[in-house]
């Protein structure tokens, strides 16, 4: 953060040649990348500092809709399906936003020809003794965020590895940390992630977050 700040101060100081300004801009950009990378690593490696609060994911996703639409090209259509009433979780909105952005960016990469991105929110009640969507999930109240694209899909041999840090099929552009970060963030919230994918058809991710009594 210091690097970015000082580069910014020098930039504002004026008295710089165009060349120097360009160089400073590169320093700032690289500094930002380093900061982003550090946050990604912290998110899956450690208990990063969460600022959790009672968060209505319904409101939250509706608020994010614009931002998400802006990160997508015109030929990718975003569909958001939310229930009518509140879905309350105990979550850090910044971290949850990051997870959803990472999934959206992956979907964008998977649909170079355009397509549809469906984001849906549902409540899920798992009764005592009933089957949960994942065997590790306990009975109780859950919020389910589904993020589905109709892009290129993930090869069956790659699927078991996608949440591993540094696993990427997009090197050198991809760092392979996006999904590791998603996994870390969801785990820190006591949640679960699931995925299903078919080559040429698309990919669906499910985020399960514990719900707080409304
Ligand atoms: N929606 C998706 N459709 C198809 N493949 C996907 C999708 N999401 C993830 N993948 C695959 O999983 C890999 C790992 O994803 P991850 O987000 O962790 O890394 P990345 O996107 O390659 O790089 P980074 O997110 O760090 O820029 C991707 O390289 C890609 O092969
Ligand atoms: Mg990614």
Distance, CA of 25 to CA of 16 (rounded, Å): 12
According to DSSP, the β-strands at 192-198 and 202-210 are antiparallel
Q: 62 near 82, Cβ under 8 Å?
A: yes
Distance 212 CA to ligand 2 centre (A): 29
The CB of 147 under 6 Å from ligand 1? The reply is: no
CB atoms closer than 10 angstroms to residue 134: 12
How is the chain split into domains, by residue range?
2-45, 53-210
Q: Could you read off the pLDDT of 93-122 as tens digits, one per residue?
A: 999 999 999 999 999 999 999 999 999 999
Distance, CA of 149 to CA of 194 (rounded, Å): 14
The CB of 179 under 6 Å from ligand 1? The reply is: yes
Query: What is the assigned CATH class of domain 53-210?
Result: alpha beta
Distance 30 CA to ligand 2 centre (A): 18
DSSP state, 114?
-
DSSP state, 206?
E
Distance, CA of 149 to CA of 145 (rounded, Å): 13
Q: Could you read off the pLDDT of 11-24 as tens digits, one per residue?
A: 888 788 888 888 88
Lowest average pLDDT, out of 20-29, 107-116, 179-188, 193-202, goes to 20-29
């Amino acid at each position: 953060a210091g690097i970015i700040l000082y580069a910014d101060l020098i930039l504002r100081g004026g008295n710089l040649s165009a060349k120097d300004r360009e160089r400073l801009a590169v320093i700032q950009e690289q500094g930002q990348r380093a900061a982003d990378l550090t946050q990604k690593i912290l998110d899956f490696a450690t208990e990063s500092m969460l600022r959790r609060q009672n968060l209505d994911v319904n409101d939250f996703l509706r608020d994010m809709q614009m931002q998400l639409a802006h990160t997508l090209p015109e030929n990718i259509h975003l569909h958001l399906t939310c229930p009518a009433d509140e879905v309350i979780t105990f979550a850090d909105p910044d971290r949850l936003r990051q997870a959803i952005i990472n999934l959206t960016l992956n979907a964008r990469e998977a649909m170079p020809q355009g397509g549809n991105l469906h984001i849906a929110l549902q409540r899920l009640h798992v009764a005592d003794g009933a089957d949960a969507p994942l065997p590790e999930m306990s009975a109780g109240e859950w919020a389910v965020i589904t993020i589905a694209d109709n892009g290129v899909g993930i090869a069956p041999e790659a699927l078991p590895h996608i949440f591993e840090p540094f696993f990427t099929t997009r090197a050198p552009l991809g760092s392979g940390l996006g999904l590791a970060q998603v996994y870390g963030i969801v785990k820190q919230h006591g949640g679960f992630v699931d995925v299903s994918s078919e080559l040429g058809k698309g990919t669906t991710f499910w985020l399960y977050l514990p719900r707080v009594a409304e």
